Structure 1
Amino acid sequence: MAGVRPRPGAVRVREGEDATTVDPTDLPGGVDDVPVVIGAVSRTDGGAARVEVVAGGWRFELEVEPARRAALRERATRAASAVGSGGALEVHAMIPGRVVAVAVAVGDAVTRGAQLLVVEAMKMQNDVPSPADAVVERVSVSPGDTVELGDLLVVLA
């Protein structure tokens, strides 16, 4: 359970054993008489922390995702450019869950954003889109399969 404990001029954010202090003076604009207020801290379904910050009358909502998920997102972004250069593109599970539908088969041509499959997590169905225009080279899952974060789902070429 995430917790927030205010201190003068700072907020301590705790998730389980992990904790960090967010000090408004560390934020750009948090000095020179510009007020900075750290608001609500909550969790998204994907496990990221959502923090509300108001600085100088401007409201920002920051989403801080776990390092493993950020690394997977970065890898997926880099891999999308590899398809254009002739490399294979692996699509991995961004969340753990159960595969409820597979919309493609080996040999299918897909466009960027087209649905590859659907993964159900926490009673919500999440589309897994194609990160690029490509051809399906391999489908590694079937409906009913359980997948963990990072599991290989589809290979595109």
Structure 2
Amino acid sequence: MSVDREPRQLPAPAFEEYTGFLLHRLGIGAQRVIEETLRPLDLRPREFRVLALLGDTPRSQRELAELSRLDRTTMVAVVDRLEDLELVRRTRNATDRRKYLVERTAAGASLVGDAMVKLIKAEREFLSPLPEDRQTELNALLRELYAVRIVDC
């Protein structure tokens, strides 16, 4: 006669060893580093994301919302602030006069370059406890997970 038993469970790790907890806490730390790095440039992380995604190609606010994973209301506020800072400009779409295209200004492009240099340096410092090959491995694992678990933010 067979007896159904639950599989033997391994002892649970301490709460602070759970992957989700670690990702959450490190995410908060990384967010703070990003905010502190961008603050002297008068940029917020969302604004930087939009500026960086714009590249040299004018895009509609809707496209930018989809690319950046920001909701449309947030996108309007981000583009408004970037426009106030003269980092982007809105122009009428030549093929659909009801829509506007957003494009980076020269000042916006320059600021993205400066911000990237600072962010790369800050990231290296944040990850410095890991050897370079482990940093590369971590990045690859995170990109792989991100590809299937994209989160709106």
TM-score range, shorter chain: under 0.3
TM-score by length of 2: 0.21
User: Based on CA coordinates, which of the two structures has the bigger radius of gyration?
Assistant: 2
Structure number with higher relative contact order (C-alpha < 8 Å, ≥ 6 residues apart)? 2
Compare the two structures and name the one with the higher strand fraction: 1
Compare the two structures and name the one with the higher helix fraction: 2
TM-score by length of 1: 0.21
